[in-house]
Amino acid sequence: MGKDVIIACDFSSKDETLAFLDKFQGRKPYVKIGMELFYAAGPDIVREIKARGHKIFLDLKLHDIPNTVKKAMSVLSNLDVDMTNLHAAGTVRMMEGALEGLTRPDGTRPLLIAVTQLTSTDQESMEQDLLIKEPIAEVVMHYAQNAKRAGLDGVVCSPLEAEKVHNACGKSFITVTPGVRFADGDKGDQKRVMTPAEAKRIGSDYIVVGRPVTQAADPVAAYERCVREFVD
């Protein structure tokens, strides 16, 4: 699996996003489009960024009954994204339906990865709000194994979990890891962070980097630093 740096384009408008991407001129970084931008700018923003030659991870975290997710995934595969995701909590059946919907008539499909437990969920909220009593690390691993059983390609997880996921689900099961910061950078609201070099060492397949690139004085230089540390 080719390692890559994915830039989280957490902007609220098409103009802001395209102005940001214009800075990269010849380079075509892998781009993550999340709910904020997708709901603000609609599917056209995906088509436009794709037409400019970028790969796209569409991060919409689907979670609904299997039939609805299957149909929604079919629409997303027509948008020609390269990677998309859902919540593993939707059950193995929902994940199987999603894969079915995502697969195009010619048999190709975008990568499909699962969110296990959100990093904003902690042991206490899982127990109190969701009535799940097991240790969170076990829940994450169980959800990752469910995703693998359903035929998915990997999971989004904290860089600190990537090694364990590979041990439990195999090296070819993709780990996509946000929470990346430069050693000399600001952590912002991310609590458990790793540098791109550390993420490489523990075997992440893709890192998702937002503010350290989007808010940098020189975003292209910050992106290139990520690539140097993580990929080269």
Q: Is 210 in the site for ligand C5P (CB under 6 A)?
A: yes
The set of long-range contacts for 209-213, using a CB threshold of 8 Å and a minimum separation of 24, is 209/5, 209/6, 209/7, 209/8, 209/178, 209/180, 210/7, 210/8, 210/10, 210/178, 211/10, 211/186, 212/180, 212/181, 212/182, 212/185, 213/7
C-beta of 32 vs 70, nearer to ligand C5P: 32
Q: Is 208 in the site for ligand C5P (CB under 6 A)?
A: yes
C-beta of 116 vs 146, nearer to ligand C5P: 116
Cβ–Cβ < 8 Å for 88, 114: yes
Q: Is 21 in the site for ligand C5P (CB under 6 A)?
A: no
Size of the site for ligand C5P (CB under 6 A): 15
User: Residues 61, 133, 164, 187: which is the catalytic one?
Assistant: 61
Give, in order, the Cα–Cα distances in Å from 120 to each of 130, 189, 201. Answer: 13, 11, 25
Cβ–Cβ < 8 Å for 156, 85: yes
C-beta of 7 vs 95, nearer to ligand C5P: 7
Tell me the backbone φ, ψ of residue 120, rounded to 5 degrees.
-80, -10
The 42-71 contact track toward ligand C5P, x by CB under 6 A, reads ------------------------------
The 98-117 contact track toward ligand C5P, x by CB under 6 A, reads --------------------
Annotation marks residue 71 as catalytic: no
| Minimum separation from the CB atom of position 189 to ligand C5P (A) | 7
Q: Is 8 in the site for ligand C5P (CB under 6 A)?
A: yes
Cβ–Cβ < 8 Å for 209, 8: yes
Q: Is 119 in the site for ligand C5P (CB under 6 A)?
A: yes
Q: Is 121 in the site for ligand C5P (CB under 6 A)?
A: no
Q: Is 34 in the site for ligand C5P (CB under 6 A)?
A: yes
What does the alpha-carbon distance between residue 215 and residue 20 come to, in Å, rounded to a whole number?
10
Which positions are annotated as active-site residues? Answer: 61
